[in-house]
């Protein structure tokens, strides 16, 4: 009997409070399970994950979760021993963490994990993610060395592909898309007569960013815009659902919590609906799939709408939004760092009026994303077939 394929997932999460990060992991597991079926192989997936308080939302006899910590990485019986047991390593970088703009400590950790995997001689898969920006010469060199040693490199948008060329990467990467397009959808609730508008509110942006000093460079008053949009949609006869996608019960990251921000808005705006505190990314996607229209500031909340045929207006605060959706020919994204409130409201109103056309645009772009993602899946399948 053929032994199982043994795969280690790095920079994935089975229990992140950020359901977007979790969506990447749920989708990656779904892709690996499909590949294993096609190859007629069993698979054993090990996920190195921080031991957060939330219960894991990835389960199965093929899943094993090991606690990621500094001590585990340093112990020979920890990360190194785990690497020696594996056939391949797949790293998704949390979607957009492979950059030097988040500080040297995070980048050093990521590079150490990658370097040890290369030292162990394991095929390293750089799964579809955003690359960069890398602003410092030393980090650009380190990124180039790592990427040139990978067995498979895929990016999820055109700007990342261009940036890799600027870094001097030898081989062109696979231009794929976000793996969350492949995440299974949870049950769709019956919400009754609509229209139902889903509004994903970012607790991070409501609080002015990590420091409260607008480090994302928004060119508008985000809380005032959200209040204005809620009132406008209610005036159109729509039921507005306030939908969190980062749910942090307590602790130092509570300032990023969407649920508190949504609850505060629900208190101010009567007849809005506060969505549940979702236990998993598929559950959130199922709820979002029941909307007739959607807009939001969390990219993967928008991807949940986008991949279920819901007309959507992403409200960007970083380059990754336009990079991902624009690469697929979907141009309904508004830019909260560049556009003023009147421009954004006009774009939202136009999309609402034309929502049937936006739904068709969404479906067309989603198909394009799946085609691109299939190129990553095929390359990954070919690699795993050799192990």
Q: Band the pLDDT of 252: cuts 50, 70, 90.
A: low
Return d(Cα 226, Cα 273) in angstroms, integer.
Answer: 15
pLDDT at 58: 96
Q: If you search the block for the tokens 């198909």, which residue do you land on?
A: 367
Which of 293, 196, 277 has its CA nearest to residue 243? 277
CATH fold of the domain at 5-182+369-385: Rossmann fold (3.40.50)
Architecture of domain 196-367: 3-Layer(aba) Sandwich (3.40)
Q: Where are the alpha helices (DSSP H) in the chain?
A: 19-39, 70-74, 81-85, 104-119, 137-149, 158-167, 203-206, 222-235, 258-268, 281-288, 299-306, 319-327, 341-353, 355-385
Report pLDDT digits (tens) over 84-141: 999 999 999 888 888 876 667 788 888 889 999 999 999 999 999 998 788 888 888 8
Q: If you search the block for the tokens 């136009």, which residue do you land on?
A: 350
Predicted TM-score (pTM) of this structure = 0.93
Return d(Cα 53, Cα 63) in angstroms, integer.
Answer: 19
Angle between helices 158-167 and 137-149 (to 10 degrees): 100
Q: Band the pLDDT of 216: cuts 50, 70, 90.
A: low
Listed in sequence order, the residues at least 6 apart from 61 whose beta carbon sits closer than 8 Å to its beta carbon are none
Return d(Cα 14, Cα 64) in angstroms, integer.
Answer: 10
- For residue 103 the two structure tokens come to 């500080």
Question: 158 near 326, Cβ under 8 Å?
Answer: yes
Cα 365 off chain centre by:
17
List Cα–Cα distances, 71 to 47, 77, 81, 134, 375, in angstroms. 17, 10, 13, 28, 37
Report pLDDT digits (tens) over 285-318: 999 999 999 999 999 999 999 999 999 999 988 7
List Cα–Cα distances, 18 to 40, 110, 247, 280, 365, in angstroms. 34, 19, 7, 10, 25
Return d(Cα 65, Cα 17) in angstroms, integer.
Answer: 17
| CATH 3.40.50.2000 domain range(s) in the chain | 196-367
Percent residues over pLDDT 90 in the chain: 69
Q: Hey, is 28 helix, strand or coil?
A: helix
pLDDT at 214: 67
In the chain the first and final C-alpha atoms are separated, in Å, by 15
- For residue 123 the two structure tokens come to 């095929």
Report pLDDT digits (tens) over 36-77: 999 999 999 999 998 877 889 999 999 999 998 888 988 888
| CATH 3.40.50.11930 domain range(s) in the chain | 5-182+369-385
């Amino acid at each position: 009997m053929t032994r199982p394929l043994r795969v280690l997932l790095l920079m994935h999460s089975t229990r992140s409070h950020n359901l977007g990060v979790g969506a990447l992991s749920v989708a990656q597991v779904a892709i690996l399970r499909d590949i294993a079926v096609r190859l007629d192989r069993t698979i054993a997936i090990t996920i190195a994950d921080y031991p957060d308080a939330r219960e894991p939302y990835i389960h199965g006899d093929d899943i094993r979760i090991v606690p990621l910590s500094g001590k585990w990485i340093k112990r020979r019986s920890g990360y190194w021993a785990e690497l020696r047991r594996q056939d391949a390593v797949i790293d998704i970088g949390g979607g957009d963490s492979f950059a030097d703009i988040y500080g040297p400590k995070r980048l050093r950790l990521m590079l150490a994990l990658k370097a040890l995997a290369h030292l162990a001689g394991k095929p390293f898969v750089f799964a579809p993610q955003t690359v960069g920006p890398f602003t410092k010469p030393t980090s650009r060199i380190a990124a180039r060395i790592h990427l040139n040693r990978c067995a498979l490199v895929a990016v999820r948008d055109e700007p990342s592909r261009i940036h890799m060329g600027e870094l001097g990467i030898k081989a062109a990467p696979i231009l794929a898309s976000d793996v969350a397009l492949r995440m299974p959808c949870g049950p769709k609730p019956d919400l009754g007569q609509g229209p139902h508008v889903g509004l994903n509110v970012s607790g991070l942006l409501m609080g002015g960013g990590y420091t409260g000093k607008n480090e994302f460079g928004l060119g508008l008053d985000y809380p005032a815009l959200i209040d204005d949009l809620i009132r406008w949609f209610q005036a159109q006869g729509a039921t507005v659902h306030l939908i969190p996608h980062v749910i942090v019960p307590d602790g130092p990251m509570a300032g990023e919590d969407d649920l508190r921000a949504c609850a505060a808005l629900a208190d101010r705006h009567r007849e809005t609906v506060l969505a549940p505190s979702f236990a998993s990314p598929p559950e959130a996607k199922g709820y979002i799939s029941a909307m007739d229209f959607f807009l939001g500031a969390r990219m993967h909340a928008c991807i949940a709408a986008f991949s279920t045929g819901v007309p959507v207006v992403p409200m960007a605060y970083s380059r990754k939004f336009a990079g991902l959706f624009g690469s697929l020919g979907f141009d309904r994204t508004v830019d909260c760092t560049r556009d003023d409130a009147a421009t954004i409201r006009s774009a939202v109103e136009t999309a609402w009026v034309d929502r049937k056309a936006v739904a068709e645009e969404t479906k067309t772009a989603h198909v394009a994303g799946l085609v691109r993602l299939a190129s990553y899946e095929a390359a990954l399948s070919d690699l795993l077939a050799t192990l």
